[in-house]
Amino acid sequence: MGRDGSDYVSNQVNPENAALGFRVKSGWAAVVLLTSPIDSPRLRDSRVIDLCDPRFPETRQPYHAAMGKLETDAKKTNRRTDIVHPEATAQLKKSINDVRRTIRNIGRFTDGPWGAEQKLAAVGAWVALCHKPRYSKRERDEDLCGD
């Protein structure tokens, strides 16, 4: 459920041409839903979701990095972010400038925030969108039903 209490999922989105992207943080995540066309993905939803129970602060993860240490070195954090774009450009077969421009333009269509977390989630969704589903809906249903 979103922080705004919503749990609505649009029935206008075809699951064969939609993808979710996530940017997970401590206790919350930015989530972006994109749909086709792949060359010019469309933003259908962008929101922040809680990954912990806000009534119980101890359920919020206090650390990002391994070994229980909070990462405070901005250079290390930026290097990790910089890894995402070359991988995305290779999978999307687009230049780094095209990827950045498209992600920036996608954000024009949201009323909510469009910061680094949402942009990285959108890159993930776009990469996922360019991959074909492993199963057709019928095959997936049969597989889940054990047929």
Would the pTM count as exceeding 0.85?
no
Over 60: is that where the pLDDT of 145 sits? no
pLDDT digits (tens, 9 = 90+) for 56-71: 877 776 555 454 455 5
Omega before 57 cis (within 30°)? no
In a domain, 91, yes or no: yes
96-106 vs 116-129: helix axis angle to the nearest 10?
110
Structural domains counted in the chain: 1
Q: 130 and 38 in contact (C-beta within 8 Å)?
A: yes
In a domain, 142, yes or no: no
In a domain, 88, yes or no: yes
In a domain, 3, yes or no: no
In a domain, 45, yes or no: yes
Q: What is the Cα–Cα distance from 108 to 57, expressed in whole angstroms?
A: 34
In a domain, 145, yes or no: no
pLDDT digits (tens, 9 = 90+) for 37-49: 888 899 999 999 9
Q: Taking CA 79 as the corner, what is the angle to CA 49 and CA 66, rounded to the nearest 5 degrees? A: 60
In a domain, 8, yes or no: no
In a domain, 6, yes or no: no
Domain that holds residue 92: 15-133
Over 90: is that where the pLDDT of 75 sits? no
* Residue showing tokens 């997970």: 24
